[in-house]
């Protein structure tokens, strides 16, 4: 389907900004000034930064054969700032074309802003894809059309928030209404655009959860068109093993009926129910599209990308579509249904990781002692060949599993020490899980010749 040429009707209102017009204009102007200065400085220093980065990368490559990351990160930073400048310039042009200060909300302005939204996020992903050599495999693309849709997206890295624009909005011409966190308003492109198309900006730690949920519900009202959808990241934040352990323990204490469902998850955070349930309640005509992916896990910060694991990654994407008629009516039934959808995605992630491990087993890469000591010179034994990227990724996944299991055990032990109610059977189960994951990790590290992980 080509990009839609007609903007949807103005049936859903724009959500009012929390700040006064003056405060919002000041925040946007300040952000534009900061990004403009940053872009000029980075552009002027780019040759020096690239030269310095190349020296760092060359030294690391000669010692450890690490991919050239300093140069990549310099270019990634410059490309990101360029994309931000391009974004707010494009939105300013859209504002002027819609009449500037004399115009207002109109289908034409929404169409221009939605186009800028798609190309802004697609541009960011294009830079990452090019610099790090990412490959994408998509399954279930035919399920995306037609709308209306409620889109539930997995959140695992600082990169995956660009994926819906590239794999849903762009190729299928979908006008998506986003639920985004308040912290992202630091970007002037997003702060401007979020007020010119239906977007819900939420405070995750708000003291008025009912009001936040009511704002989310507004996005799914009047969701009728074949090119319309509302999108949310149900986890609310990026997944890490520590966050999963904390979330599961919190649910066990606050919602025992849901605890068993949450405890079955290994690769996803339990969905924060308020937002998804509000969208399901309001979007009575919309099917549900679950957007899963693997390959970007663990890249939560720039320091995670520095490790080199992102280079050459294959990102696998899969869509699941659930008819509106399959969504039950009762709240507890909807919670169970939502967890069942999330469990299917969690199981698929586990299968993908097993597939990667089977395609590049640790044992096949482990280097024999004779091979390690036949490099031709007495000092050569100090520089052993590094494990392949697939093996490094597998060991990283095993370390994450072991860390997650240990954190769950530690949290449960802390609960018992505080004299809160605990179960001996649950304690033994967590102890067994922690022991098993440690043993699997140790075996893999020995086979790959990697240094053992130290606890603590």
pLDDT band at 392 (very low <50, low <70, confident <90, very high): low
* Distance from chain centroid for Cα 197: 22
Closest by CA to 302, choosing from 436, 128, 434, 129, is 128
Cα 430 to Cα 316, 407, 437, distances in angstroms: 31, 10, 11
Quick: pLDDT tens for 222-250: 888 899 999 999 998 888 888 888 899 99
Q: Which residues contact 264 (CB under 8 A, 6 or more apart)?
A: 343, 346
Q: What value does the mean pLDDT of the chain take?
A: 82
Distance from the first to the final alpha carbon of the chain: 52
Contact by Cβ (8 Å): 341, 288: yes
Mean pLDDT of 252-257: 89
- What is residue 391's predicted lDDT score, i.e. its pLDDT? 61
Quick: pLDDT tens for 83-108: 999 999 999 998 888 887 887 888 88
- Helices and strands, number each (H, E), in the chain: 16, 7
3-state secondary structure of 363: helix
Q: Which residues contact 239 (CB under 8 A, 6 or more apart)?
A: 154, 155, 156, 267, 268, 269, 297
Choose the weakest-confidence range: 5-14, 22-31, 82-91, 290-299: 5-14
pLDDT at 11 over 70: no
Quick: pLDDT tens for 280-292: 999 888 999 999 9
pLDDT at 189 over 70: yes
Distance between CA atoms of residues 160 and 177, nearest Å: 17
Where is pLDDT greater, at 365 or 186? 186
Contact by Cβ (8 Å): 400, 80: no
Closest by CA to 255, choosing from 326, 180, 344, 339, is 339
pLDDT at 178 over 90: yes
> In the chain, where are the structural domains located?
21-357, 360-369+382-448
pLDDT at 57 over 50: yes
pLDDT at 218 over 50: yes
> Which fold, 21-357?
Glycerol-3-phosphate (1)-acyltransferase (3.40.1130)
pLDDT band at 208 (very low <50, low <70, confident <90, very high): confident
- Cβ atoms < 10 Å from Cβ of 415: 17
User: How are strands ordered across the β-sheet holding 149-153?
Assistant: 135-139, 314-322, 287-294, 149-153, 228-232, 175-181, 199-202
Quick: pLDDT tens for 130-165: 999 999 999 999 999 898 999 999 998 889 999 999
Choose the weakest-confidence range: 197-211, 376-390, 421-435: 376-390
Which letter does DSSP use for residue 315 in this model? Answer: E
pLDDT at 379 over 60: no
């Amino acid at each position: 389907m080509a990009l839609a040429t007609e903007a949807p009707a103005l049936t859903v209102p724009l959500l009012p900004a929390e700040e006064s017009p003056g405060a919002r204009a000041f925040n946007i102007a300040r952000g534009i000034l900061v990004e403009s200065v940053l872009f000029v400085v980075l552009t002027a220093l780019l040759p020096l930064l690239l030269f310095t980065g190349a020296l760092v990368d060359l030294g690391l490559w000669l010692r450890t054969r690490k991919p050239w990351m300093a140069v990549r990160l310099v270019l990634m930073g410059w490309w990101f700032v360029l994309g931000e400048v391009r974004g707010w310039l494009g939105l300013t042009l859209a504002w002027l074309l819609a009449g500037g200060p004399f115009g207002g909300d109109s289908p034409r302005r929404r169409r221009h802003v939605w186009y800028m939204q798609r190309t802004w996020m697609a541009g960011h992903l294009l830079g990452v894809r090019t610099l790090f050599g990412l490959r994408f495999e998509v399954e279930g693309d035919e399920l995306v059309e037609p709308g209306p849709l409620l889109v539930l997206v997995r959140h695992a890295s600082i990169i995956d928030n660009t994926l819906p624009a590239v794999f849903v909005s762009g190729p299928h011409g979908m006008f998506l209404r986003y639920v985004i966190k308040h912290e992202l308003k630091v970007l002037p492109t997003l702060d401007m655009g979020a007020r010119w198309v239906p977007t819900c900006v939420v405070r995750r730690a708000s003291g008025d959860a009912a009001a936040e949920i009511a704002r989310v519900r507004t996005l799914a009202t009047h969701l009728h068109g074949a090119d319309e959808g509302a999108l949310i990241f149900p986890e609310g934040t990026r997944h890490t093993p520590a966050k999963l352990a904390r979330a599961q323990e919190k649910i066990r204490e606050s919602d025992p009926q849901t605890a068993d469902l949450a405890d079955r998850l290994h690769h996803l955070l339990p969905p924060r129910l308020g937002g998804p349930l509000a969208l399901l309640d309001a979007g009575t005509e919309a099917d549900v599209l679950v957007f899963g992916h693997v390959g970007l896990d663990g890249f939560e910060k720039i320091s995670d990308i520095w490790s080199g694991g992102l280079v050459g990654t294959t990102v696998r994407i899969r869509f699941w579509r659930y008819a509106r008629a399959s969504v039950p009516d009762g709240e507890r039934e909807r919670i169970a249904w939502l967890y069942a959808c999330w469990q299917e995605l969690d199981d698929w992630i586990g299968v993908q990781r097993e597939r990667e491990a089977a395609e590049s087993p640790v044992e096949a890469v482990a280097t024999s002692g004779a091979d390690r000591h036949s490099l031709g010179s007495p000092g050569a034994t100090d520089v052993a060949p590094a494990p392949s990227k697939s093996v490094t990724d597998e060991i990283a996944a095993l370390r994450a599993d072991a860390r997650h299991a240990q954190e769950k055990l530690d949290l449960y032990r802390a609960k018992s020490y505080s004299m809160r109610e605990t179960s001996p059977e649950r304690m033994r189960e967590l102890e067994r899980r922690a022991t098993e994951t440690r043993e699997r990790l140790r075996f893999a590290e020995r086979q790959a010749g990697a240094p053992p992980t130290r606890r603590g």
